[in-house]
Structure 1
Amino acid sequence: MELWIPITIAAAFLQNIRSAMQKHLKGVMGTTGATFVRFGFGFPFALLFVAILHFGFGMSLPAFNGSFFFWAVIGAFAQIAGTQLLVHLFSFRNFTVGTAYSRTEPAQAALFGLLFLGETVSIGSLFAIAVSVIGVMLISVAHGTVSWKSLITSVFSRTALIGLASGVGFGIAAVAYRAASLSLGGPNFMMQAAVTLAFVIVLQTVVMLIWMLLRDRAEIGRIVAAWKPALVVGLAGATASFGWFMAMTLQQAAYVKVLAQVEIIFTFLSTVFIFREKVTRLEIVGTLLIVGGVILLVLLT
């Protein structure tokens, strides 16, 4: 078994824990605060990972370059946007559905490439895109009257558009992080991933902290009051991100994203046993179609 496979599965499990805790925090603070804790409480652990690898295992620090800064900054801001949209989405739909929307980013990337860059898309890829979009549409109408009209209009609903936008942010971030990590050129995939994560998460923390100081200082007080669960989010989030960065340094981001769909299993378990939320048959079918469409996209492209 290739090393990136167990790393990705472990990262998916940890990301599910982080997302579950973020949903809990969304009930005691705003979207900005619930987004910030992922970064603000995660950067000490990211710096710790670098320190352990450098001082504990004797791994040398890589040399920074312009390409690294370019891709790292793009990824940092794209991830902030994707995370804020996903956390905001939790206010509209249940935990499983909110997470499912963010899993359409590979399909969206292919569609945007066709529309804006003139890139060629195969018939198989178009079919995969259609499968994912139908899944999103089914989820959107799962709690209402199911008809052809409702299915067609559902993809333009507020929740669908927010979820799709969240997927765009995460898709851009994944590609950018892989490019940033690879641009370091060594000493090995673990240190490259750790340094990339540390730089990105510190940048995200500073940017969001400045934003809250200027626009919403009351949110900082709410974050401080919920520091215990926020610390769990930071630890789980930083560790999961370290896993993603390592996996995407070893393997193409698209393949890592496909395997990462195993998180849906953890999500369903969280929905049923932690949040005690009901999942309808249409939501299950819709989520499976989204996952199936993403997998087909990678296999057929």
Structure 2
Amino acid sequence: METWILFSLGAVVFQTARFMLQKVLATGGLSAGGATFARFLFSAPIVWVAAPFLVPDWPSLGPLFWPYAIAGGISQIMATVCVVLLFQTRNFAVGITLKKTEVLLTVLVGIVILGEGVSLAGLLSMIVGLTGVLILSDPPKVEGGRWTDILMSRAVVLGLVSGVFFGISAVTYRGATLEVAGEAWSRALVTLSGVLLVQIVSLGGWLLWREPGEVSRVAKAWKRAGWIGLASLGGSFCWFSAFALENAGYVFAVGQLEVILSLLASVIFFHETVSRREGLGIALITLSVVALVAVT
């Protein structure tokens, strides 16, 4: 099996664990910005301490490394903010469903920014996977008017914008790793170090300005948020390693297996049953990933 696929699967496992921890270890008392900042705050020190030991000969960075790292770090923050705002809208289910188109949006962003496209077979595989993800999603409930009104709503805009920002972050993260010399894992570690610096400074500065006292509340929540930060660190390292090796669109397509893993976690830990609709969705996502692996 290709190394980038293994890293993508590792990212799926860590990300599922992070979502489960967020559900169990609620970061009570933190704002949306504070909860997002906690991911970076409790990941960054580990990366910054480990990086010099694991990569003693610091590689040279290409001229586009920092532009890519800054664009990716800020885009990820903006994408997360859009998702948080989605839950404050009346038709958030519609927006969340549209957010799931991020795999195809990532392909478009990759073509624009890096000039990296995908094969026709790869694109068809992604469409099959997206169909499976949408089937597994709760059907959006149209509230407050006709579909034509909903499609012009704030929820739709936020859903699509979040998908675009997630696509930009993935593609620019890949671009940043390509600006670093060395093995994939060391390129990923160096890039992650830079991106976390961008996110700590930018989001931390924003919180100090707009939400005084929130940074202190995040620091005091280390017993709860620390575990989330560790799971986030594992997921980020795996994502970055996969991006260093393969097109971001392909990586995100394999990452759709997260939906299946989350469903299995619900079955195992909460003893929920799998419906026929969910079974069909699982089958389509699995078929998509198998086909994708075969054509890449």
- Mark yes or no: TM-score above 0.5: yes
Q: CA deviation at 1:43?
A: 0.4
- What is the letter of the counterpart of residue 45 of structure 2? P
Matches within 5 A, 1:99-110: 102-109=99-106
Which one-letter code corresponds to 1:251 in the other structure? E
The structural deviation recorded for 1:78 is 0.7
Gaps of 5+ in 2: none
- Which amino acid is the alignment partner of residue 39 of structure 1? F
1:18-38 CA distance string (max 9 Å, x none): 233345546532110111111
Query: Does the CA contact (< 8 Å) of 1:100 and 1:264 recur in 2?
Result: no
Cα deviations by residue, 1:152-184 (Å, 9 ceiling, x for unpaired):
655555444433322211111111111111111
Residue of 140, 151, 165 corresponding to 1:169: 165
Separation of aligned partners in 1, 2:279 and 2:87: 17
Equivalent in the alignment of 1:60? 57
Tell me how far apart the structure 1 counterparts of residues 275 and 197 of structure 2 sit (CA, whole Å). Answer: 40
Among residues 255, 262, 265, which one is paired with 1:267 in the alignment?
262
CA contact (8 A) 2:95 2:160 kept: no
1:13 matched residue in structure 2 = 13
| Counterpart code for 2:238 | G
* Letter matched to residue 70 of structure 1: P
Per the alignment, in what secondary structure is the counterpart of residue 101 of structure 2?
Answer: helix
Aligned residue-pair number: 287
5+ long unaligned stretches in structure 1: none
Query: Helix, strand or coil for the counterpart of 2:2?
Result: coil
**Contact between 1:136 and 1:287, CA under 8 Å: does it hold in 2?**
no
**Is 1:193 matched up with 2:188?**
yes
Which residue of 2 is the match for residue 213 of structure 1? Answer: 208
TM (norm. structure 2) is 0.75
- Which of the residues 236, 243, 247 maps onto 1:241? 236
| Contact 2:109 2:168 (8 Å CA) reproduced | no
Distance 1:276 1:156 in 2: 39
CA contact (8 A) 1:50 1:195 kept: yes
Using the TM superposition, give the Cα deviation of residue 267 of structure 1 relative to its aligned residue in structure 2, in angstroms: 1.9
Matched AA of 1:31:
A
Question: Match of 2:178?
Answer: 182
Measured after TM superposition, the shift of residue 41 of structure 1 is: 1.2
For 1:277 and 1:192, locate their aligned partners in 2 and report how far apart those are by CA, in whole Å.
41
Give the Cα–Cα distance (whole angstroms) in 2 for the partners of residues 272 and 99 of structure 1.
Answer: 23
2:201 corresponds to which letter in structure 1? V
- Any residues of structure 2 matched to 1:1-301 within 5 Å, and which? 1-22=1-22, 25=26, 27-54=28-55, 59-89=56-86, 102-109=99-106, 132=130, 139=137, 141-143=139-141, 150=147, 154-186=150-182, 188-271=183-266
CA distance in structure 2 between the partners assigned to 1:154 and 1:288 by the alignment: 30
Distance across 1 between alignment mates of 2:229 and 2:69: 20
Distance 1:277 1:30, change over 3 A: farther
Letter in 2 for 1:66: P
What amino acid does structure 1 have at the position aligned with 2:77? I
Deviation of the 1:61 alpha carbon: 1.1
Whole-Å Cα distance in 2 between the matches of residues 204 and 65 of structure 1?
A: 20
Q: Is the 8 A contact 2:109 2:171 kept in 1?
A: no
- Percent of paired sites with the same residue: 36
Task: Tell me the secondary structure at the aligned position of residue 185 of structure 1.
Answer: coil
- Write out per-residue CA displacement over residues 163-214 of structure 1, whole angstroms, 9 at most, x where no aligned residue: 332221111111111111111122x211111010001102201111111111
Tell me how large the CA RMSD over aligned residues is.
Answer: 4.4
Q: CA deviation at 1:226?
A: 2.0
Q: CA deviation at 1:106?
A: 2.8
